[in-house]
């Protein structure tokens, strides 16, 4: 039986915890605590260490899902959690003040991991029509010579998250 690891990352409020919860075959493990800083203006709780979920495939293989905390003060967990991951899913909140600049920060922070594996980019909160377009996100990746799937995702909708996860897996192994 093979096991794989996929890492979900992105800023606070992008939907990492929700995405993992929506596709996990087990009750996810979450390390959420009450938000006490500026994050409390956005939401009541925030991830402080990690989220964990699991996908059980029909052939017995398993995909472990890890989510990073979004706050940069917990960025020491990013490297710890990325160890051994076959791929990275970056979720971006399109309603952030400057989501493209935030994406650049995550691409910098995970550059070594991106070079060694693959990524997929999911953009959340696009329903208002405000913020950058999918093409704008593609342009940021293209400017760094990164080829990756980019799509609009609602992390509450399991089919959206499954489609994003499958796009990552297909980009890693087109023969799947």
CA distance 169 to 172: 5
The pLDDT value recorded for residue 45 is: 56
Ranked by mean pLDDT, the top range of 17-31, 124-138, 144-158 is: 144-158
Could you say which architecture CATH assigns to the domain 3-172?
3-Layer(aba) Sandwich (3.40)
| Res 77 pLDDT > 80 | no
Contacts of 160 (CB under 8 A, 6+ apart): 122, 152, 153, 154
Say yes or no to pLDDT of 137 above 90.
yes
- Dihedrals phi, psi of 69, to nearest 5 degrees: -70, 145
- Band (pLDDT 50/70/90 cuts) for residue 119 is very high
CB-CB neighbours of 175 under 10 Å: 4
In the predicted structure, residue 43 carries a pLDDT above the cut 60: no
Tokens of 64: 């472990």
Summarize the confidence of residues 146-165 as an average pLDDT: 95
Strand intervals (E) in 10-100: 29-34, 45-56, 62-67, 87-93
User: What H or E segment, with its residue span, contains residue 154?
Assistant: none
Q: Where are the domains of the chain?
A: 3-172
């Amino acid at each position: 039986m093979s096991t794989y690891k996929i890492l979900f990352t992105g800023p606070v409020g992008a939907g990492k915890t929700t995405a993992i919860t929506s596709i996990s075959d087990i009750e996810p493990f979450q390390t959420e605590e009450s938000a006490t800083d500026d994050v409390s203006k956005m939401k009541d709780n925030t991830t402080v260490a990690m989220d964990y979920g699991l996908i059980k495939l029909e052939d017995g293989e398993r995909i472990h899902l890890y989510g990073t905390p979004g706050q940069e003060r917990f960025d020491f967990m990013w490297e710890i959690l990325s160890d051994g991951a076959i791929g990275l899913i970056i979720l971006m909140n399109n309603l952030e003040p400057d989501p493209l600049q935030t994406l650049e920060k995550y691409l910098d922070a995970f550059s070594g991991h991106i070079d060694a594996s693959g990524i997929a980019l999911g953009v959340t909160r696009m329903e208002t029509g405000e913020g950058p377009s999918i093409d704008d996100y593609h342009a940021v990746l293209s400017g760094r010579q990164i080829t990756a799937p980019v799509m609009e995702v609602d992390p509450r909708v399991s089919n959206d998250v499954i489609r994003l996860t499958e796009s990552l897996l297909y980009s890693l192994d087109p023969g799947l």
